[in-house]
Each structure stands twice: as structure tokens, then as C-alpha cells.
Amino acid sequence: MAFVAAVAKRSGNVRGIKRPSTPYLLLIPGIAWLFMFFIYPLINLASTSTQTPAASGEVGAYVQTFRFANYIDAFSGARDQFLRSIVYALIATLLALAISYPLAYAIAFKSGKWKNLLLVLVVAPFFTSFLLRTVAWKQILGNEGPVVAVLKFLHILGPQSGLTASAFAVVTGMTYNFLPFMTLPLYASLERIDPRTLEASSDLYANGITTFRKVTFPLSLPGVVAGTLLTFIPAAGDYINATLLGNPRTKMIGNVIEARFFDIVDYPTAAALSFMLMAAILIMVMVYVRRAGTEELV
């Protein structure tokens, strides 16, 4: 023991003091980045969320009073929008999964030489702005657009009704906008499935449905978990779709935070709502990942 200690001491002295601290030095930029852009803003956000209006009463002037009741007030003021965000995001996630799974499956197993082209097509919408894509849906679903014309012709829609400025349009927009986030992880996990496991399944007299249920789907589960998370999290906080495709009765929590921050200049409530959204999503994700039983995400 004494020898080891002596060697350690010697190497510390002789080889230079720098050596043990090198990894820490290398970590500094990363930690500084994390601190500046994550920890510090988070602390600031937390600190803002418990402030109350200053005595001067000036718009946007707040003092720290550690009023935790801000959270209760913020939540009770925006309960509907909170619930709506979660419901809309859930529906959009399920729809995206229903559309993406067959798509990813087809690309992974059935596309042959078209595989790369199809993958590019899935990613292609990313090359245009999120906003432009949403505005485009306003036109697709608009009163003068093709969808409404067809539905009216089929008498599914009445002559006076339309599709935009509705919950339907908001969920459609979200499903579309976050679809690639679902398709790509699904594709990645499906593509990695060893075809021999599928062959083995059929060798054991499993039909297509059983093979899918017992082999393909369980093996693609990491992709499903990753895809649903990558879709649900941004969808729950999204407010662009609700702004452009919704109406005043379909506002989401993101809209409330925006209005609180910019229009009312109520920083504490905006901060409290942001924190609650973050916490709610974190808890839901943790429960979900536990239940899904996957440790690795893709």
C-alpha cells in the first residue's frame, strides 16, 4: 500500500500536476455551455416564477417574494389549455404512429432500390420552414381548397362548414409536422431487425400476423418508444399549429405562455406555466418509459 501511495505521489510530482486535472479541464467548455444555456436560465426561470408585482405597479416590474401559490394560480387559470395540449398531442402521436409504422415498415422491408429515395422524401419537408409547412395546410384544408371541395361534393360537409380554424385542423397540422420524428426512429429500429429471425419465425409455422406480433413488433419497440416521445414532447408544447390552424377555443398551453409573456407581460405566470409543462412532460415520459420497459432508446 505504501508503495502504491508512493508511486502515486511520485507520478503526481514528477509527471506534472496537470495530468489528473486534464479531463476536468477538457470538460470545462461543456460544463460552461450547460451552465450558461441550461442551468442558469433554469434557475432564473424558477426564480421568476415565484415573483409578484412590484409596489410601483409598472407593467413588467416584479419582485421576488417566493410566492409558490403562483403555481396554483397559473394552473387554475390555464387548466383547459393544459388538458387540451396533452389530449391533442396524444391524438397526434397516435395518428403519427398509425401512419408511420406501415410507412417505416414498407421502407425497411419492401422498398428495394427505392429505399434511399423514400427516406429522402420523408425528410424533405424539413428543408422548408416549419411555418411555411403549417401555412400550406391552411390552404390545403381551406374553404377554397381541394379537401373541402371533395367533402362537400360527397355531402360529408355541409355547404356552410369548413375544416380550418378547428381542433381537427390543429391535430392534422401537428400530426403532419411531427411525422418524420416518428418515421425515422421506427425505420431505424425496423431496419436493424435481423431477417433471419423472421425466417425462423416462419420456419416455426408462424403466419404473417403472428410473426409481426411476436417478432417484428417487439423488436421495433425501442423505435416506437423513441418515436412517440419525439412526437409527443414537441407536440405538447407546440403553439404554431394552434395559432395558424385553430380558433380561440383550441388554444394550447404554448399560446397561453406566449400571451402571458408578451401581451400581459406577466413573467411569473409564464415562468410557472413553463415549469409545470416541463414537469408534466418529464413525469409522463418517465412513467411511459418505465411501462414500456425499454432502457435504451433506439
Partner 1 sequence: MPTNNPLSPETRAIIRAQMTRRGVLAGAGGLGVAGLLAACGTKSASTGAKGASVTDISATDKIARWANWTLYLDYDSKSKTYPTLEAFKKSSGINVTYAEDVDDNNTFYGKVAGQLKLGKDIGYDIVTLTDWMAGRWIRLGYTQTLDAAAIPNKKNILTVLENVSFDPGRNNSLTWQTGFAGFGWNKSLLPKGVHTLDDLFAPANKGRIEVLSEMRDTMGIIMQYQGVDISKTFTEAQFMNAIDFLQKKISDGFIRQVKGNSYKEDLISGDAIAVIGWSGDLFQLATENKGKFEFAIPESGGTLWSDNLMIPSTSPHKANAEAVINNYYDPKVAAQVAAYVNYVCPVQGAQAEMEKIDPTLANSPYIFPDAAALAKVKVFASLTPAEETKYQTAFQKATGN
CB atoms within 10 A of CB 229: 21
- Of 7, 16, 35, 38, the one binding partner 1 (CB under 8 A) is 38
Shortest distance in whole angstroms from residue 295 CB to partner 1: 24
CA distances from 259 to 196, 262, 273 (A): 55, 5, 12
Region of 90-98, 158-166, 194-202, 284-292 interacting with partner 1 (CB under 8 A)? 158-166
Collapsing DSSP to helix, strand or coil, 84 comes out as helix
Reduced to 3 states (helix: H, G, I; strand: E, B; else coil), residue 162 is: coil
Q: Does 128 bind partner 1 (CB under 8 A)?
A: no
DSSP 8-state assignment for residue 164: S
Confirm or reject binding of residue 50 to partner 1 (CB under 8 A).
Answer: no
Site for partner 1 in 77-96 (CB under 8 A): 77, 81
Q: What is the size of the binding site for partner 1 (CB under 8 A)? A: 71
Q: Of the two residues 109 and 130, which places its CB atom closer to partner 1 in the complex?
A: 130
Min. distance of Cβ 192 from partner 1 in angstroms?
A: 29
Among residues 238, 275, 291, the alpha carbon closest in space to that of 68 is found at: 275
Of 87-95, 107-115, 237-245, 287-295: span binding partner 1 (CB under 8 A): 237-245
Tell the smallest beta-carbon distance from residue 188 to partner 1 (Å). Answer: 23
Q: Does 265 bind partner 1 (CB under 8 A)?
A: yes
Task: Tell me the closest approach of the beta carbon of residue 217 to partner 1, in angstroms.
Answer: 30
Contact 98, 178 (CB under 8 A): no
Q: Measured from the CB of residue 71, what is the shortest distance to partner 1 in angstroms?
A: 14
Cell numbers given for 121 = 422524401
Kindly compute the dihedral angle of the four CA atoms of residues 174, 175, 180, 185, in this order, to the nearest 10 degrees: 110
Q: 172, 216, 187, 175: which is closest to 101 by C-alpha?
A: 187
Judged by CB under 8 A, which of 33, 35, 40, 68 binds partner 1?
40
**The length of the chain, given as a count of residues:** 298
Does 62 engage in binding with partner 1 (CB under 8 A)? yes
